[in-house]
Amino acid sequence: MAEGQWPVAGLDEAGRGPLAGPVVAAAVILDPEKIPEGLDDSKRLTAEQREALFDIILGSALGVAMSSICAEGIDTINILRASLEAMRRAAAGLSLQPKLALADGRDIPPGLPCPGRALIKGDQRSQSIAAASIVAKVMRDRMMSGCGQVHVHYGFEAHMGYATPRHRTAIGNHGPIARLHRVSFAPFRLGETEMAEAD
């Protein structure tokens, strides 16, 4: 704002590391008069804190948009490109056009609708990025919890698709789920393991 760069959108994603599920990105333009208290890197907050802040952010921000890229898309273009593309789509989906986008990490998503800057550890340095990290994390967790209700043997609602012992055991017993597991990731590669067909 001191540079005359306003509105500013924070961009972040959730779900780069899991073996299953989408990568989800969010773009948030905060109202400088209504900054929610307690914003932080989503990984440093409890699930209850994230859920409470999610509602506050959606109710107070000037703009919020989300995007996701599914496991098949990740397998096709790789997780880094998928993460950046999801952030680009989220920024493009904002109802308020930002003059600057701050993206968490080392890379600026190509094709942004405005100039962009990358901020390493941005979710700890920028309130807008922190808000985006919370929105993306809550939305992804909700999506994976829904997958857990459909694929009850995998425990997605507990581990959100990360490579926990429970998840690895389920993959060993039941195989990866088509269109949900990222078959380009270790411990499986396409063709090495029989696929469980998704509903």
| pLDDT of the chain, 199 residues: tens digit per residue | 778 889 999 999 999 999 999 999 999 999 999 999 999 888 899 999 999 999 999 999 999 999 999 999 999 999 999 999 999 999 999 999 999 999 999 999 999 999 999 999 998 999 999 999 999 999 999 999 999 999 999 999 999 999 999 999 999 899 899 899 999 887 666 444 444 544 4
Residue 154: which residues within 8 A CB-CB, separation 6 or more? 20, 147, 148, 167, 170, 171, 174, 177
Residue 70 lies in a domain: yes
Residue 193, in any domain of the structure: no
Query: Does any domain span residue 177?
Result: no
How many residues belong to the chain? 199
- Retrieve residue 134's tokens: 């919370």
φ, ψ of residue 101 in degrees (nearest 5): -120, 130
pLDDT at 195: 47
- 147 within some domain: no
Q: What's residue 189's pLDDT?
A: 63
Q: What is the CATH number of the domain that holds 75?
A: 3.30.420.10
- Residue 198's pLDDT is what? 45
80: its two tokens? 């880094």
Is 176 contained in some domain? Answer: no
Domain count, the chain: 1
Domain that residue 20 falls in: 8-140
Q: What is the pLDDT of residue 2?
A: 77
Computed on alpha carbons and rounded to an integer, the radius of gyration of the chain in Å comes to: 17
d(CA 178, CA 71): 9
Does residue 2 belong to any structural domain of this protein? no
Classify residue 192: in a domain, yes or no: no
At 80 the three-state DSSP class reads helix
Binding-site residue numbers for a divalent metal cation are: 12-13, 104
Q: Residue 133's closest CA among 142, 147, 123?
A: 123
| Binding-site positions | 12-13, 104
Q: Tokens in use for 18?
A: 């899991």
